[in-house]
Structure 1
Amino acid sequence: MKSLMCVSLRSTVSSKTSTVLWKSSASSSKPRTKPRSDPVCFSMGGVRMHPILLILFLLESIIFAVTGYLVGRKHTPFPDFRIGLHMEDAMNNRDAWESANRLCGLLCVVSAAVFLSTGLLLYFLKRGTGTAVLSLLGLSAVCIPISVLCPSAYAKRKFH
């Protein structure tokens, strides 16, 4: 008569992947899985974030970082407005031009770090595709206007 050995595996992520393996100690056949009878917990989005969304987070992070470097460090001198923040309040005088561009560059670099960390966090925490899409759209809707409008308002308040 064969003796049965029960091995219980606990999931480290959630209870939806836990199974009990039944295997015979006398045979070398593959173990059979028996699903758990407790309710299954679902995360928002259901499945792991698609790698394309991680690439989109990284791409937007790179765009923000390059823009922040160019606007913050490599903007053109005051009378020449080729590279820099093209807002009326920032283009009034030399001090407004310099400080608004430096602030815009800083905010763009901070936004790049936020995009990079959020994308990696969502990917490695195995959040769903819906969560990632909403995060990408929400961060874009917040970070882009902040990076442009805050330096303009700062220049208007400080230099007018």
Structure 2
Amino acid sequence: MMRMRRFAGLLLLAAALPAAAQSAYRWVDKDGHVQYSDQPPPQAVKKFEERNVQPNRGNTQLPFATRKAAGEFPVTLYVGKDCDKACDEARALLGKRGVPFTEARLESADDVSTFKKRFGQDPFVPSLGVGKEMEAGFAAQPWNSLLDKAGYPAGKR
């Protein structure tokens, strides 16, 4: 009985593997129409494209407005090694609003130089980059205003 369950589990796992990556085919038929399929084209078709299609790994669980804002105005939280409580409060604000963000540590001279080139000023941590806009130092009201302006939903404030 136990052996049968194990076999059934392995069989289900093997069946799920093809769903991880599939091929998609594109070709032009004899009438000049472009055809797309997950099945190979007929043998009469000599020229076709085969693409390995991966499942969408984006966070489709986020609300549409958040995904849209993140696509147009990505958020970066700039932190440093001496940024404890303020950085924690900054992360909490972004988490409470459900804002996806990248965290960048400003530790090396190259990090500081890159920040200066992007924003035209010396870094101050934490800082919030939203698209090309930046707010230095943590203050909830200006950070929320910057996120609102970019179209991020308000979340629970």
Using the size of structure 1 for normalisation, the TM-score is 0.23
Using the size of structure 2 for normalisation, the TM-score is 0.23
Of structures 1 and 2, the one scoring higher in RCO (CA 8 A, sep 6+) is 1
Hey, which of these two has a bigger chunk of helix by percent? 1
